[in-house]
Amino acid sequence: MRFRDYYGDPETMLRTQILAQKWLLENVRTDAHVITGPWVGAWTDFQNAFEAGSLGVDVVFPDDDIPWIGRGWVAAESDLRRLEAMDFVHSGLNARQAAYRKAMIAVADKYPVRFLGGEIFYPGANPALTHTSDGPFGVAGDLMGKTEIFLAAKERPDFVRELLRLVTDKLIAYLDFCWAEEKLPVPKDFAWTDDLAVSLSAETYRDVVLPSEKRLRFHFDGRASLHMCGRSDHLLEIFRDDLAIHELQGFGYEVDLDRIGRVMGGKVVLIGNVNPMLIHAGTPDQVREATRRVIEKLGPYRGLIVQDGNNIPPGSPLANINAMMEAAEAWGRP
């Protein structure tokens, strides 16, 4: 099957997700299902393209790769007004998400699942929309272009603040739609990311980005989970104090373990940070040793979940992936 087939047909997307999760459960060692039950759900999956692809950015679906986001288009005040008028909820890839969700529900009975001898259930019966976000700065970077938004944050900060305000309005409107459409529970838990912002200084992040991040985060009154790749050491206090996150998910392998322990240990659930390149090209012994180091540094604070930091490259040996679980079993128990 080609990538294009997966993104181009809702039933193919549903079937592929179920088979992929079956493979993961049978091949990748994890104890996540002990906590959460079987994670055999279905969702409208357009990767990190759905927000830009609903706000006027062209998205390409190659035969052999995940979606590619095209060039940004926001550069002038007139573009901000055009953006403000856009219907983010019912256009572009978000409109396709809603259509795919209905199509998955229509074929749900064709795809029954049983987990460990339990009751049969139908993952397509209530598929999730993508109710998360790449964050105000990340989406704004897609709309302007990555180089352009970094230059503008320095040279035209008021323009970027207004862009972030408009983007945040759109994100909140869409997330409210998801909660109503899926009948999601309250209090509202929320998980989001803003990887692009890791390259900003703490001063610029506070001045330009943080007000919009806080608007998005505190729109939700449940547990807050933030993901940020890369070396985010300089932003950790902001995440802990200003954004009051409960979880830092998949924090980057470049983050200093001593520093994150001092700032967040025992206060925030920490999920990470074994080097993905080591998982891809190293040996099981090297991965076990790297995982042991994470456990020894952060385990004493409690609230640590071992994971890659962040995103395992395609072609990584299963033995290396499973070495993380082996290390957790060997050194992660009190």
Is the pTM above the cut of 0.75?
A: yes
Q: What is the pLDDT at residue 25?
A: 87
Kindly state the percentage of the chain with pLDDT values over 70: 99
Amino acid letter for position 102: K
What average pLDDT does the segment 155-159 reach?
A: 98
Residues 199-208: tens digit of each pLDDT:
999 999 999 9
Q: What is the pLDDT at residue 309?
A: 95
Cα–Cα distances (Å) from 208 to 155, 298, 323, in that order, read 12, 32, 41
The residues spanned by each domain of the chain are 1-183, 223-334
Sheet arrangement for strand 304-308? 190-193, 224-227, 247-251, 269-274, 304-308
Q: Where are the beta strands (DSSP E) in the chain?
A: 59-60, 68-69, 190-193, 224-227, 247-251, 269-274, 304-308
Query: Greatest CA span in the chain, whole angstroms?
Result: 60
For residues 105 and 185, give the distance between their C-alpha atoms in angstroms, rounded to a whole number.
20
